Amino acid sequence: MPNPSSLSRFALAFVAVALLCAPAFAADLTADQIIRRSSENRTVDNSIQTMTLEIFDKSGRSRVRKITSRVKQGPEDATWSYVFFDEPEDVRGVQFLSLENPKGEDDQWMFMPAIGTANRIAGSSRKGSFMGTDFTYEDMAIGQADDATHELLPKQTVTVGGGSFEVYVVQSVPKPELKSAYTKLVTFVDTTDLMPRQVDLFDKNGEQIKRMTFLDVVKDGDVLIPKLIIMENLKRDTKTELRVQEYKVNVDPAQLPDQMFTKEYIEGEG
């Protein structure tokens, strides 16, 4: 249940939240306002991105996967996300579909060419690794600000990727009905633009098990784009780096037909 935004559920969504619009600054924000504004200001209407996933084991060895993601705003501003694995050859044709559901768990489907049908990701399956990465399917859910209760902690200064940032610190506790793998998330949100810079994730024992950081942030018009997102598994001493190679924002909706964001489409394309 993190979002990302993702993809901490409250700050990021692995694909949909790689694009965050810069908000107007306001002082004396509450925890809920910080999370809500960060979420509301993060997404452009439609986007296409090519990215690489580099997966590092504890010995530092890595393997790279190239993906293309397409994000569209559906009815009632719900975010739809479709990911196609391009390379290497052994994963080409794998597809992942995530449809935001404001009233419950997001609808998620994974298509494997060797199986030939799309499998729904639900329940305990959401806690599993996404294609061998340090992201889980839960990490990739879009998420809503109302999915958790939020508490504002004292401001801090954090160092991320060699840069120093004054941040709001928000502790989020998932609501029980979500059956999250996490007991809490602590999100460090830049006070100047409400860009999440770091998210710490804690397990059922209250121990921090993951850290997600957002690096190489560039501005394109009114949009802030973190071109590098790193998810570290602190227990396994592994990490996954998600790098944005190319991107298009506010693309013509005709390039993102509604049919593309269906189970039938990913089964047909595979």
Domains of the chain by residue range: 16-269
Which residue from 29, 42, 38, 36 is spatially nearest to 155, judged by alpha carbons?
Answer: 29
Cα separation, 218 vs 220, in Å, equals: 7
Closest CA to 196 of 1, 15, 17, 16: 17
Global confidence as pTM: 0.86
Q: What is the pLDDT of residue 200?
A: 96
Q: For the segment 69-79, what is each residue's pLDDT rounded down to a tens digit? A: 999 988 877 88
pLDDT in tens, 40-97: 655 566 889 999 999 999 999 999 999 999 999 888 778 899 999 999 999 999 999 9
What DSSP assignment string belongs to 221-268? TTEEEEEEEEEEETTTTEEEEEEEEEEEES--GGGS-GGGGSHHHHHH
Q: Retrieve residue 170's tokens.
A: 């928000």
CATH hierarchy code of domain 16-269: 2.50.20.10
